């Protein structure tokens, strides 16, 4: 039973920091790192996972020295309470460090809020991280790891969830997530992140390829208010440029057939005199796609662009005819654009599941969070889902779950075809609504402690296959109800009719662990504001027994960009992106269908 309890881990931090939650996975203590970011461990969050330590000879940092590995279940989720509609930047980091001494870095899948994120490919000796920006669709956001290969156990070293200013990354509509490919500070002497970047985005220094030179700005202050995506001043203090106006700066090439979103940041590096002019445009496949860009001195111009790339798309900066100076660029962010994010399982079903979780909270509350059905093969183990764009729950199998107490009203789950509650300790009367579920064909209530008569709505339902054996206190006919039960013991003749009053429906239930998060709300309510570090995390582990056919056209083929924080070779953004594309495009065909809802 103890293994059925999840623990809430709530930590309070007095620091000012930007990440709402930074979890040092596998760590037991909370601490502040050398950059004054507060980290919290995740000990006690998961019952069926181990915390591990990387081999000390491989250690690269305190945060990366521990990890949490999930060996027993197929789907493991961190659920983090955030205001609904928050713009979140989530970074998941993986440092294998040969913790298991098998020299075998695993590969596995990662999801967020019912959407596929990416296939994580860990490295023997490098830190790998993935980042996604999206708008949370409920009060909690869930990040889940799923095993996809035998003996390749998912693990995670760090999970950071940062709330961004809602005006950021708003160039595209919020129904899409952005998966980071690359975030570059051209010409920068070192990686830029917190505290230079208030959101702890990681800007990798790049020097560009042959013919490219780095230049430093002589501006004392570079104002960033004109850039909607709040680049840190530190990434604007340097730039790359090229020797002459007749040359181009090639930003990136080797795209797969994917939708790309890019931010480019331009700031003049010196005060130009009247004879000088720097003016250039962005060209995609030799076609200009921007107005002339004239970088301002002491300020920044941001350009955002989205385009569908192909393998030989070229992306160049080329000087305008009247420019006396070659193009320059200070910083870049490139993302894949996700397909439309899922709306999740039908809210009526989510609501019904929530009632069940509340009624049987000791068993059901803790383990299941995130979307009950999505992404598709990873539904909760006790639910079977339809393969609609907005999935419906067609079967409940809570057989042998050790449930005790009375059945709640889950009549909103009107797509149910099968309900199996066999071998539990459910007592009270059999609720009427079970006879009125329009699609129900099988109802197995055997081996419980139901009492009273079987409601007429059920007995008169001809298409329903009902099993009620093994309920000694149940009256199986109206005669026996008045006298004795089937096993001969006398029972009261005043058992309730089986009608239960309808519980009030909660106004909006998008998560499925509401009571946990009501507790969070209470805590978060007085803690949470955006420059304050708060950690309120519940972790939930879910087996996946129910394999539904791969059906969800709208979310196939999302990918995330992998970045190696260490071992970068100079000027390698193009190569790195190429490698990432190659790594991640085996399932891509660029032929995505968008669900219409």
For residue 249, the minimal CB distance to ligand NAG (Å) is: 19
Of residues 5 and 522, the one with the C-beta less far from ligand NAG = 5
Q: Which residue from 107, 166, 402, 478 is in contact with ligand NAG, where contact means CB under 6 A?
A: 402
Q: Interacting stretch for ligand NAG, rule CB under 6 A, among 105-113, 156-164, 236-244, 301-309? A: 301-309
Phi, psi for 498 (deg, rounded to 5) = 100, -10
Complex with ligand NAG: residue 164 or 407, whichever CB lies closer: 407
Q: Tell which one of 428, 453, 455, 561 touches ligand NAG (CB under 6 A).
A: 428
Shortest spacing between CB 544 and ligand NAG, in angstroms: 13
- Please state, in angstroms and as integers, the Cα–Cα distance from residue 521 to each residue in 62, 83, 174, 515, 533, following that order: 31, 9, 24, 10, 15
Binding mask 530-549 for ligand NAG (x = CB under 6 A): -------------------x
262: number of Cβ within 10 Å: 21
- The region of 99-107, 111-119, 233-241, 308-316 touching ligand NAG under the rule CB under 6 A is 308-316
Nearer to ligand NAG, 217 or 397 (CB): 397
Q: Does 399 bind ligand NAG (CB under 6 A)?
A: yes
172 near ligand NAG (CB under 6 A): yes
Task: Compute the least distance from the CB of residue 527 to ligand NAG, in Å.
Answer: 34
Least Å from the CB of residue 389 to ligand NAG = 8
In sequence order, the β-bridge partners of residue 248 are 318
Of residues 196 through 255, those in contact with ligand NAG by CB under 6 A are none
Q: How many residues bind ligand NAG (CB under 6 A)?
A: 24
**424 Cβ partners below 8 Å, 6+ apart?**
398, 399, 400, 401, 402, 403, 404, 447, 448
Q: Which is nearer to ligand NAG, 199 or 551 (CB)?
A: 551
420 binds ligand NAG (CB under 6 A): yes
Among 423, 459, 480, 585, binds ligand NAG (CB under 6 A): 423
Q: Which residue has the tokens 């075998």?
A: 104
**Which residue pairs from 99-104 have beta carbons closer than 8 angstroms and sit at least 24 positions apart in sequence?**
99/52, 99/53, 99/54, 99/55, 99/67, 99/69, 99/155, 100/52, 100/69, 101/55, 104/152
Interface pick for ligand NAG out of 551, 568, 579, 595 (rule CB under 6 A): 551
In the complex with ligand NAG, which residue's Cβ is closer, 18 or 259? 259
173 binds ligand NAG (CB under 6 A): yes
d(CA 502, CA 549): 35
CA dist list (Å): 55 to 31, 67, 99, 194: 21, 11, 6, 27
118-126, 228-236, 393-401, 579-587 -> range binding ligand NAG (CB under 6 A): 393-401
Nearer to ligand NAG, 8 or 172 (CB): 172
CA atoms within 13 A on the CB side of 396: 24
Q: How far is the CB of 255 from ligand NAG (least distance, A)?
A: 11
User: Quick check: 395 and 421 in contact, CB under 8 A?
Assistant: no
- Cβ atoms within 10 Å, residue 204: 21
Regarding beta strands 128-135 and 87-94, do their DSSP bridges make them parallel or antiparallel, or are they unpaired? antiparallel
Q: Which residues of 225-256 are buried (b: 16+ CB within 10 A; e: fewer)?
A: eebbbbbbbbbbbbbbbbeebebbbbbbebbb
Angle between helices 514-527 and 347-359 (to 10 degrees): 90
307 binds ligand NAG (CB under 6 A): yes
Total Cβ atoms within 10 A of residue 104: 12
Q: Say how far apart CA 521 and CA 361 lie, in whole Å.
A: 18
Q: In terms of Cα–Cα distance, which of 525, 524, 366, 530 is closest to 10?
A: 524
Binding residue (CB under 6 A) for ligand NAG from 15, 48, 276, 285: 285
- The residue with tokens 């979780």 is 357
Q: Which is nearer to ligand NAG, 1 or 14 (CB)?
A: 1
Q: Which is nearer to ligand NAG, 172 or 527 (CB)?
A: 172
Stretch that binds ligand NAG, among 46-54, 229-237, 401-409, 476-484 (CB under 6 A): 401-409
Q: Which is nearer to ligand NAG, 21 or 356 (CB)?
A: 356
How many Å separate Cα 237 from the centre of its chain?
Answer: 33
Question: Is position 485 an interface residue for ligand NAG (rule: CB under 6 A)?
Answer: no
CB-count exposure of residue 424 (10 Å: 0-12, 13-18, 19+)? buried
495 binds ligand NAG (CB under 6 A): no
- Assess 28 for contact with ligand NAG (CB under 6 A): no
Burial of 517 (0-12, 13-18, 19+ CB in 10 A): buried
State how far Cα 40 lies from the chain centre: 19
Burial tier of 353 (Cβ tally within 10 Å: 0-12, 13-18, 19+): buried
Nearer to ligand NAG, 261 or 265 (CB): 261
Shortest Cβ 43–ligand NAG spacing (Å):
23
Spatial CA neighbour of 138 closest among 157, 119, 112: 112
Q: Are 444 and 417 in contact (CB under 8 A)?
A: no
**Considering only residues 157, 162, 259, 584, which one is a binding residue for ligand NAG as defined by CB under 6 A?**
259
Q: How far apart are CA 505 and CA 312, in angstroms?
A: 54
Determine, following the binding rule CB under 6 A, whether residue 400 of this chain makes contact with ligand NAG: yes
By CB under 6 A, tell whether 361 contacts ligand NAG: no
Interface residue with ligand NAG, options 66, 217, 394, 397 (CB under 6 A) = 397
Peptide bond just before 296 cis, omega within 30 deg: no
Q: How far is the CB of 582 from ligand NAG (least distance, A)?
A: 15
312 forms part of the interface with ligand NAG (CB under 6 A): yes
Minimum gap (Å) between residue 200 Cβ and ligand NAG: 27
Of 203 and 378, CB closest to ligand NAG: 378
Please identify which residue in 361, 427, 459, 485 interacts with ligand NAG, judged by CB under 6 A: 427
Give me the residues that bind ligand NAG (CB under 6 A), please. Answer: 1, 172-173, 259, 285, 306-308, 310, 312, 387, 397, 399-400, 402, 404-406, 420, 423, 427-428, 549, 551
């Amino acid at each position: 039973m103890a293994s059925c309890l999840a623990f809430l881990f709530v930590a309070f931090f007095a620091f000012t920091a930007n990440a709402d939650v930074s979890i040092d996975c596998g760590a037991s203590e909370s601490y502040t790192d050398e950059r004054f970011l507060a980290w919290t461990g995740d000990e006690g969050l998961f019952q069926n996972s181990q915390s591990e330590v990387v081999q000390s000879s491989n250690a690269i940092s305190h945060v990366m020295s521990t990890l949490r590995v999930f060996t027993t279940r197929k789907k493991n989720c961190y659920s983090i309470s955030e205001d609904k509609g928050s713009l979140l930047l989530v970074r998941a980091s993986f440092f294998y460090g040969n913790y298991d001494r098998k020299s075998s870095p695993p590969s596995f899948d990662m999801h967020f809020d019912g959407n596929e994120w990416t296939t994580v490919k860990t490295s023997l000796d490098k830190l790998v991280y993935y980042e996604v920006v999206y708008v949370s669709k409920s009060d909690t956001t869930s990040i889940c790891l799923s095993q996809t290969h035998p003996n390749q156990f998912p693990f995670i070293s760090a999970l950071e969830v940062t709330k961004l200013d809602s005006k950021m990354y708003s160039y595209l509509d919020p129904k899409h997530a952005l998966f980071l490919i690359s975030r570059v500070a051209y010409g920068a002497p070192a990686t830029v992140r917190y505290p230079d970047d208030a959101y702890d985005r990681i800007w990798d220094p790049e020097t560009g390829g042959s013919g490219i030179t780095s230049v430093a700005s002589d501006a004392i202050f570079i104002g960033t208010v004109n850039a909607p995506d709040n680049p840190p001043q530190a990434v604007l203090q340097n730039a790359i440029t090229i020797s002459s106006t007749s040359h181009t700066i090639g930003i990136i090439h080797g795209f797969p057939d994917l939708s790309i979103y890019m931010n480019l940041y331009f700031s003049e590096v010196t005060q130009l005199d009247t004879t000088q002019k720097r003016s250039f445009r962005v060209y995609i496949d030799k076609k200009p796609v921007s107005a002339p860009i004239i970088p301002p001195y002491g300020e920044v111009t941001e350009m955002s662009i989205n385009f569908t790339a192909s393998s030989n798309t070229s992306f160049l900066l080329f000087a305008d005819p009247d420019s006396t100076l070659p193009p320059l660029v200070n910083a870049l962010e490139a993302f894949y654009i996700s397909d439309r994010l899922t709306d999740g399982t039908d809210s009526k079903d989510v609501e019904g599941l929530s009632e069940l979780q509340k009624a049987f909270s000791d068993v059901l509350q803790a383990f299941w969070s995130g979307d009950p059905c999505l992404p598709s093969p990873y539904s909760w183990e006790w639910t079977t889902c339809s393969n609609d764009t907005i999935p419906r729950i067609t079967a409940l199998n809570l057989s042998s779950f050790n449930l005790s107490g009375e059945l709640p009203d889950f009549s909103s789950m009107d797509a149910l075809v099968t309900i199996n509650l066999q071998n539990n300790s459910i007592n009270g009367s059999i609720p009427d609504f079970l006879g009125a579920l329009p699609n129900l064909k099988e109802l197995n209530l055997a081996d419980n402690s139901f009492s009273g008569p079987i409601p007429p709505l059920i007995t008169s339902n001809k298409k329903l296959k009902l099993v009620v054996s093994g309920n000694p206190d149940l009256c199986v006919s109206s005669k026996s109800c008045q006298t004795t039960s089937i096993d001969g013991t006398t029972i009261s003749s005043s058992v309730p009719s089986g009608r239960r009053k309808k519980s009030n429906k909660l106004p909006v239930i998008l998560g499925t662990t509401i009571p946990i998060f009501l507790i969070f709300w209470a805590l978060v309510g007085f803690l949470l504001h955006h420059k304050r570090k708060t950690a309120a995390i519940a972790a939930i582990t879910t087996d996946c027994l129910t394999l539904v056919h791969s059906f969800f056209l709208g979310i196939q083929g999302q990918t995330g960009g992998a970045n190696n924080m260490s071992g970068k070779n100079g000027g390698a953004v193009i190569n790195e992106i190429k490698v990432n594309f190659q790594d991640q495009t085996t399932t891509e065909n660029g032929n995505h269908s968008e669900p219409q809802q």
